[in-house]
Amino acid sequence: MDFFEIDGSYGEGGGQILRSAISLSCITQKPIQINNIRAKRKTPGLSAQHLTSIRILAKICNAEVHGLEIGSTCIKFVPGLIQDQKIIENVGTAGSISLISQVLIPVVSLSRKNLELKIIGGTDVSWSPTIDYTKIVLQEAYSRFGISFSLDVERRGYYPKGNGIVNLNVLPTKKLSTISFTKRETREADIHCTYSKIPSNIIETEVKKISKNLEKANFVTQLKIRNEDAFDKGASILISSKDAKSIIGIDGLLNVKNFKFSDISKSFIECNLGIDSHLADMIVIPAALVDGISVFRVNSITKHLETNLYVTSKITGCKYGIGRIDGGFEIRVEGASGSRI
């Protein structure tokens, strides 16, 4: 059998290239071999979070997988027929449910299937989008493409115990559309904050500081603060905005040692183009598979985005270009809709 080989050390050399390659293997039905997995990380190879993502995808598309174990630096993935599924999974750690969801949603929806997933793990953890970012920002961006999913949080899961519970329901895409995200026009910003086992006055003080900073920059803010129980103490915050030409979200976690949020308001204010830099790499896969050209503008190009554009173009045959504009960059992706099953 011929395998499409990917060097996992390319670009940022982390989990992003693994997630994208396996997702695209399922969507395009191309057997894939990934070498040098997470070669540039302090602890190379597969982690529990990656195992869970691949294991669920293997169930969904009846795949044959070789090398699926903790620490493995090479796997072979042979996708089979994708089916509707109802699944319960436990990451077993505080591994990010958001990152796992990013892998599953486009695969299931673009393959015109259904998924009902109950997953246990981390909802708001370091080096990952918060679950509110996934529920609010990613959901809105995907809906513009025609990808639909719903996400319900039964329980929050912070580091180190995790044990958050999320119910994810992915629906089949009826029609995939191109997108254009060029410049933020709205001056409205929503602030979502959830916390557990921390005095409410501390949280309210921190959130109001961020809100005042936004108001000084002429944003009208709406605050939503919720106490949601978890096994560990913790808190997360998300500032988001959306209009016809932009979707932007900046999130962060509370430092539980000094009970402070970092000042994410500055990052939100400066993020004035079409999308935030994290969302940029998340929308590459659907942009690569739609019939037509999608356009989005960002203030900066991340290693994750560069890596995703490279890997996605290699597997799907899509074309892309990056050009400088005032204050940032414009990315154009011409989809290869014929590579989708």
List 32's β-bridge partners, or say none: 4, 77
d(CA 66, CA 47): 15
- According to DSSP, residue 12 is labeled T
Q: Which residues of the chain have pLDDT under 70?
A: 338-341
Q: In angstroms, rounded to a whole number, what is the distance separating the alpha carbons of residues 132 and 156?
A: 11
- Considering 50, 192, 278, 304, which one is annotated as catalytic? 304
User: Spelled out in words, what is the top-level CATH class assigned to the domain 181-270?
Assistant: alpha beta
Cβ atoms of 316 and 24 within 8 Å: the answer is yes
Closest CA to 318 of 295, 339, 280, 288: 288
Q: Whole-model pTM?
A: 0.95
Is-cis flag, bond preceding 286, omega within 30? Answer: no
**According to the CATH classification, is domain 1-80 in 3.40.50?**
no
Give the C-alpha distances (Å, rounded to integers) separating 207 from 18, 23, 213, 224, 260. 36, 37, 10, 10, 10
Residue 45, token pair as written in the block:
């190879």
Spatial distance between the Cα atoms of 4 and 15, rounded to a whole number of angstroms? 18
Res 340: pLDDT = 59
Q: How far is Cα 195 from Cα 224, in angstroms, rounded to an integer? A: 11
* Residue matched to tokens 């997360």: 236
Neighbours of 326 (CB within 10 A): 5
Residue ranges of domains in the chain = 1-80, 181-270, 281-341
Per-residue model confidence (pLDDT) at position 225? 98
The confidence score (pLDDT) of residue 40 equals: 81
Q: Which residues are within 8 A (CB) of 9 and not within 5 positions of it... i.e. 6 or more apart? A: 36, 39, 40
| Largest interatomic CA distance in the chain | 61
164-171 and 148-155 beta bridge pairing = antiparallel
Q: Write out the E strands in the chain.
A: 4-7, 32-35, 64-66, 75-78, 85-90, 115-121, 148-155, 164-171, 180-181, 188-196, 220-227, 234-243, 246-253, 293-298, 319-325, 328-334
Distance, C-alpha 240 to centroid of its chain: 15
Any catalytic annotation for residue 304? yes
Nearest by Cα to 297 from 337, 330, 320: 330
Q: Tokens 């490279």 belong to which residue?
A: 310
